[in-house]
Amino acid sequence: MYQSRIPANTAIDYLISAQPDQPVLFFNPSMLGQSYKRFAKGFPGLVTYAVKANDSVEVIENLVVAGMTAFDVASPAEMKRVRQISPSAILHYNNPIRSRGEIREGVAHGVVSWSVDCLSELNKLIEGGATGEVAVRLRLPVAGAVYDFGEKFGADPLMAIELLRAVSQAGFSPAMTFHPGTQCNSPQAWARYIEECANIAVQAGVELKRLNVGGGYAAHRTGNAPVIESIFDAIDRTVCRVFGSKRPDLICEPGRAMVAESYQLAVRVKAIKNDTLLYLNDGIYGGMAEWRDLGEMDRHMVFADDGQQKHGAPKNFTLYGPTCDSLDRIPGEICLPSDIDEEDYVLLAGMGAYSTATATAFNGYGDLLRVTLG
Ligand SMILES: Cc1ncc(COP(=O)(O)O)c(C=O)c1O
């Protein structure tokens, strides 16, 4: 999906001069740099990046330049992508289910940290010759995220105790990890997980060398921007309280919150029917997949093709994507200026996470034009 970068000063400049009919993703490298600095300054440990959120070359390149040394990769393709850009990058392979072939590729790529949530997968790692750190992935019924990450992955506390012992006995560097669920804005979710990790380590009789407190940090979708520093504080305070002198080194692996703000997506109105049905050139099969699963983002502005912003009274519209599929619709109704017109652009902020990464080519759409600002 990665295409050569077209430079532009601002998104509006580009839209006025190019009049693109294709959806456009605008990348702002300095926003990505700021996001990295925010994590690096506030998080009390090693900051890595979950490549799955946006595996664009420009994202990985800019994070490496900003100082990032380690990446969470979920597949051999992500390992190759990172290594092509940064041959010395440290790779953490935290997808807890892997085929034996994928384990071989991880070993060949020099993965230094793995996660597991069941004994059979740990045995596969041992048989496959994995070395280094193995983190036991815990799951708890904790609220705060937009959807539950414990359904597919994670060991319950009793299984986690058994697994942690087995990890240590097998000679791996013992660690634990969890993911509180994506778009999580609750410091208590992290605190609860960290408390339980400390309990599990005591009950297993194993001292944790590292604790990976996951991704999950919320990006700015609606209302006020989340204050991720309050989560960093809760992490630090809880780790001090429950581990005391046995404090493990910490790692985080944000995807969404690292990359979301560094992209805007411009979509164009192809047609309006019956005054309230808007047909866009992008939708849930393209860069807006998350609007179906996470709900609407209200951070949008509408511009005419000459760059004038539309300020009509707010009105509810039904938004359809460009494919022939009737499911290609943004759920619910979206409030936009009533004077929105055919060929106008809707500029959406905070669109860097799980947009280009999940866009499909269904019906021949989904090819997002890439423009770099600055
Ligand atoms: C193991 C792991 N780490 C990190 C992430 C990134 O999560 P987020 O984008 O919510 O920060 C994910 C997302 O699926 C994940 O599975």
Task: Kindly give the pairing relationship between strand 345-348 and strand 263-273.
Answer: antiparallel
Count structural domains, the chain: 2
Residues 41 and 21 reside in one and the same domain: no
Nearest to 49 by CA among 63, 65, 34: 63
Position 318: which residue type?
T
In ligand 1, which atom is closest to the CA atom of 153? 16
Which residues partner with 279 through β-bridges? Answer: 271, 320
Residues 157 and 255 reside in one and the same domain: yes
Specify whether the CB–CB gap between 22 and 369 falls below 8 A.
yes
For residue 65, being part of any structural domain is answered with yes
Residues near ligand 1 with C-beta < 6 Å? Answer: 50, 52-53, 72, 94, 179, 182, 214-217, 253-257
User: What confidence tens digit (pLDDT) does each residue in 227-284 have?
Assistant: 999 999 999 999 999 999 999 999 999 999 999 999 999 999 999 999 999 999 999 9
Residues 18 and 51 reside in one and the same domain: no
What six digits make up the tokens of 184?
A: 């999580």
Residues 168 and 41 reside in one and the same domain: yes
353 CA to centre of ligand 1 in angstroms: 11
Task: Kindly give the pairing relationship between strand 46-47 and strand 173-177.
Answer: unpaired
In ligand 1, which atom is closest to the CA atom of 215? 11
User: What confidence tens digit (pLDDT) does each residue in 321-358 have?
Assistant: 999 999 999 999 999 999 999 999 999 999 999 999 99
Q: Whose CA is nearest to atom 5 of ligand 1?
A: 215
- Domain harbouring 302, CATH code: 2.40.37.10
Rounded to an integer, what distance in angstroms lies between the CA atom of residue 357 and that of residue 372? 17
Residues 101 and 40 reside in one and the same domain: yes
In ligand 1, which atom is closest to the CA atom of 183? 10
For residue 1, being part of any structural domain is answered with no
Local structure of 46: helix, strand or coil: strand
The domain boundary, picked from 259, 284, 303, lies at 259
What six digits make up the tokens of 51?
A: 């490549």
Q: Whose CA is nearest to atom 7 of ligand 1?
A: 215
Rounded to an integer, what distance in angstroms lies between the CA atom of residue 135 and that of residue 140? 16
Q: Which of 51, 72, 75 should be mutated for ligand 1, with most atoms under 8 A from CB?
A: 72
271: containing domain: 6-26+261-373
* Residue 178 pLDDT greater than 80, yes or no: yes
The domain boundary, picked from 217, 244, 259, lies at 259
User: What confidence tens digit (pLDDT) does each residue in 273-309 have?
Assistant: 999 999 999 999 999 999 999 998 899 999 999 999 9
Per-residue pLDDT, 5:
67
What six digits make up the tokens of 347?
A: 């500029």
Residues 234 and 172 reside in one and the same domain: yes
Sequence-ordered strand ranges (E) for the chain? 6-8, 24-27, 46-47, 49-50, 70-73, 90-93, 113-116, 133-137, 173-177, 210-212, 249-252, 263-273, 277-280, 300-303, 314-320, 334-337, 345-348, 369-373
- Domain harbouring 101, CATH code: 3.20.20.10
Listed in sequence order, the residues at least 6 apart from 97 whose beta carbon sits closer than 8 Å to its beta carbon are 121, 153
Residues 233 and 293 reside in one and the same domain: no
Residues 94 and 191 reside in one and the same domain: yes
Q: Which of 71, 179, 190, 293 should be mutated for ligand 1, with most atoms under 8 A from CB?
A: 179
* pTM for this model (two decimals): 0.96
